[in-house]
Amino acid sequence: MAGKILIKLNYMKKIIGLLIVLCSIALIGIIVLRIWGIELVSTGDVLRSGATLVLLAVLTIILVIVYGVFFRDPKKGYQRPNGENRAHPKL
């Protein structure tokens, strides 16, 4: 079970890294084009888009925190063997 979780985390790290690289390449491309006097999008549009992405990231973090605090059952992933008073992760 732990191996599957690690594999999923590795895929998520790769996906997030790929998205960051793609956004960086796009931003660098826009900056290079601006140096040459070519304007595909205005600076205001880029700033508004960036602000929107930041707000979405903050909202996502808030939703994850709310889910963890209010909707997650901490007892769900553990079992209590007979005779012991501590929880053990399910294997």
Report pLDDT digits (tens) over 57-91: 999 999 989 888 887 766 665 555 555 556 566 66
- Identify the band that residue 6 occupies on the pLDDT scale cut at 50, 70 and 90: low
The pLDDT > 90 percentage for the chain reads 26
Does residue 52 sit within a domain? yes
Does residue 85 sit within a domain? no
Q: Which domain holds residue 61?
A: 40-67
Q: Which pair of structure tokens corresponds to residue 39?
A: 């304007």
Does residue 13 sit within a domain? no
Planar angle of CA 47, 49, 27, nearest 5 degrees: 75
Beta strands of the chain (E only): which ranges? 78-79, 88-89
Total domains present in the chain:
1
Does residue 6 sit within a domain? no
Does residue 8 sit within a domain? no
The whole-model pTM stands at 0.53
